[in-house]
Amino acid sequence: MDALLTALADPVRWRLVSLLAERPRSVGVLAQLAEARQPQTTKHLQTLERAGIVSSQRTGQRRIYALRSAPLRDLAAALNGLADSADQVDGPHGTYDRYGLSLRAERLAAEESGWADGRSFAFLRSLAGRPELVWRHLTEASLLARWWTPDDLRVSELVFEARPGGRIVNEYRDAEDADGTDLSAGRAEGVVDDVRPGERLAYRLSPLLPDGSLAFTAHVELDLRPTETGTDLDARWRITDSTVDSADFIAGIEIGFGQSLDKLAAALAAGAHDSVGTSTESDPHTDDTRSAK
């Protein structure tokens, strides 16, 4: 495929392929139609033949070239496959486009400090597992690390002290940044306000700007209600202390935290807790995951 793409990348060779798509032609005629010198045309045709795009045969004193359709059909199929992947409904590209629309709207609205104060976001998920189990996933670092980032990100440092006044740190990186050499994708710090095991958790969490200052403060409230099949989780975010530079963060709350909750629901449904037990051992996908209570 690389040889095929390289051969087709040259505009003169592309012109020759277009001419041969009409019918087989001799080198001399191709040179005339492409308005090129015959020696250069011969070299281009040899490159195309080595790539398998054309074939040739000698007829008397002339060499006739013909287009081979199979490699082009293979290339078309590969390109169509790439396009189909990019067009998947609710796939990564769709999420990217949705975030782009939200980002532009929030940047236009962020004209002065406090621009987003009072904004709120609400999420509701019906989860497998009793409230006591869901509570563990909300407060134990080794379980939090499994879901507390949106898609394509991973936790690289996590502290969650599940007590009033307890400290919160959540640093995350690109999921494919295996060795941690790329820049951190973000960091947030906060404090726990209210702890009622199995019932209610409230905390404040602030993403940090590149200079270390706070982008905004999110007041997060999580209420758990037992149901016949598990637990309903009611999550609410309220924004205060918003800065002009917080637009990019706020634009991603609905999509990002929604994806995180979907990961939580999937982890509980899959029974991931069965292999975890009561250990607070670091998750293998984190660099520095620890819990303090």
Structural contact between residues 249 and 119, judged by C-beta atoms closer than 8 angstroms = no
**pLDDT tens for residues 98-112?**
889 898 999 999 999
Judge whether residue 221 has pLDDT over 50.
yes
**pLDDT tens for residues 190-200?**
999 999 999 99
DSSP-derived 3-state class of residue 23: coil
Assign residue 165 a region (left: φ > 0; alpha: ψ between -120 and 50; beta: otherwise): left
How many angstroms separate the CA atoms of 237 and 180, rounded? 30
Judge whether residue 138 has pLDDT over 50.
yes
Task: Compute the average pLDDT of residues 224-248.
Answer: 97
Measured in whole angstroms, the distance separating CA 210 from the mean position of its chain's CA atoms is 21
Domain spans of the chain, in order of start: 2-85, 113-289
Task: Compute the average pLDDT of residues 37-62.
Answer: 94
How many angstroms separate the CA atoms of 26 and 28, rounded? 5
Task: Compute the average pLDDT of residues 180-190.
Answer: 89
How many angstroms separate the CA atoms of 146 and 9, rounded? 44
Q: Report the DSSP beta bridge partners of residue 222.
A: 201, 235
Distances (CA, A) of 110 to 92, 104, 217: 26, 10, 15
What is the largest distance, in Å, between two alpha-carbon atoms of the chain?
Answer: 93
274 band by pLDDT with thresholds 50, 70 and 90: low
pLDDT at 178: 79
pLDDT at 30: 96
Nearest C-alpha neighbor of 127 from the set 260, 1, 226: 226
Average pLDDT of the chain, as a whole number: 90
Measured in whole angstroms, the distance separating CA 180 from the mean position of its chain's CA atoms is 17
Q: Give me the helices (H) in the chain, please.
A: 2-9, 11-22, 27-34, 38-50, 69-86, 92-109, 131-139, 141-144, 247-251, 253-269
Judge whether residue 217 has pLDDT over 90.
yes
Claim: this prediction has a pTM higher than 0.75:
no
pLDDT at 285: 43
Structural contact between residues 204 and 104, judged by C-beta atoms closer than 8 angstroms = no
Strands 167-174 and 153-160: antiparallel
Q: Is CATH 1.10.645.10 the right assignment for the domain spanning 2-85?
A: no
Task: Compute the average pLDDT of residues 253-278.
Answer: 80
Task: Compute the average pLDDT of residues 270-274.
Answer: 61
- Choices 3.30.530.20, 3.90.1200.10, 3.40.50.300, 1.10.540.10: CATH for 113-289: 3.30.530.20
Task: Compute the average pLDDT of residues 236-264.
Answer: 95
